[in-house]
Amino acid sequence: MKIYTDNRLLSSGFIGGTLSRHTGNMCETDAQDKIYQELDIPAEKIAHFHQVHGNRIITLSSTKQLAQLRAQPLQEADGWLVTASNCGAAILTADCVPLFLWDSQGNYFALSHCGWKGVVKKLPFLTAKALLETGAKSIQGWLGPHIQSCCFEVQQDVASQFSVRSIVHKNGKIFVNLNTEILDQLQQAGLDLNQIKTPYYCTCGDEENFFSWRRDHIRQNLLSFIYKP
Ligand SMILES: [Zn+2]
């Protein structure tokens, strides 16, 4: 199994990362559960929500709350804040940014589904703020595989919703650099950008390893997750 991850996440005591497309389409619960089983993670301890490209963050603070959440229909949200042990959370992406934030003490983590609409709605900023409000001190972060500025061409109506710093003009076309926009928001929230890593994995440009909505227009998703044992 190929998992893109950040070693600092693992050394902080978490299990997590973003799966490559080799494990298959992760849209369905059965496919997700099979992966958790292979990783020796209890599937019933992983929370999922219905992603709506908004900025709502759900806080999970106990395994009891997790069980209640799992017993109900999926809630609409795009971010997780998890402060309890034996809990995990997952999101699905196919170009959107999986934003991983955690405290290096291994107590808390946040995981957000940051599409461009969520970024415009300040989801990265709100996710960082939520994690900071737990009292977490040394926060680290990692932006998983997503569509990079090489492929994220937009029209003026979308470009105008981003800061000028995040816009790239090339051959008469307009591209958005989501990394720039997200890093700006994380810094505004108070995070140290030296602790945030943005490896260059482009879902749209790397067909061998990733699904991409922009490239294929098929509902196929990559799974990103964090579990705190
Ligand atoms: Zn690309």
pLDDT digits (tens, 9 = 90+) for 13-45: 999 999 999 999 999 999 999 999 999 999 999
Assigned domain for 173 exists: no
Assigned domain for 161 exists: no
Which helix (H) or strand (E) covers residue 98, if one does? strand 97-103
Q: What is the mean pLDDT of residues 157-183?
A: 97
Q: Measure 70 CA to ligand 1 centroid, in angstroms.
A: 36
Tell me the CATH number at 212: 3.60.140.10
Q: Measure 190 CA to ligand 1 centroid, in angstroms.
A: 29
**pLDDT over 90 at 144, yes or no:** yes
| Host domain of residue 19 | 3-147+196-228
Model confidence band, residue 57 (pLDDT cutoffs 50, 70, 90): very high
Assigned domain for 189 exists: no
pLDDT at 193: 98
Give the environment of ion ligand 1: residues with CB less than 5 A.
Answer: 148, 150-151, 202, 204-205
pLDDT at 13: 97
Q: How many structural domains are present in the chain?
A: 1
Assigned domain for 205 exists: yes
Assigned domain for 14 exists: yes
pLDDT digits (tens, 9 = 90+) for 200-222: 999 999 999 999 999 999 999 99
Q: Which residues contact 101 (CB under 8 A, 6 or more apart)?
A: 109, 110, 111, 112, 127, 128, 131, 139, 140, 141, 186, 191
pLDDT at 136: 93
Q: Measure 168 CA to ligand 1 centroid, in angstroms.
A: 13
Q: Measure 118 CA to ligand 1 centroid, in angstroms.
A: 20
Q: To which residue do tokens 């816009």 refer? A: 167
pLDDT at 137: 87
Q: Measure 148 CA to ligand 1 centroid, in angstroms.
A: 5
Which amino acid is present at 36? Y
Residue 220 near residue 95, CB atoms below 8 Å = no
pLDDT digits (tens, 9 = 90+) for 90-135: 999 999 999 999 999 999 999 999 999 999 999 999 999 999 999 9
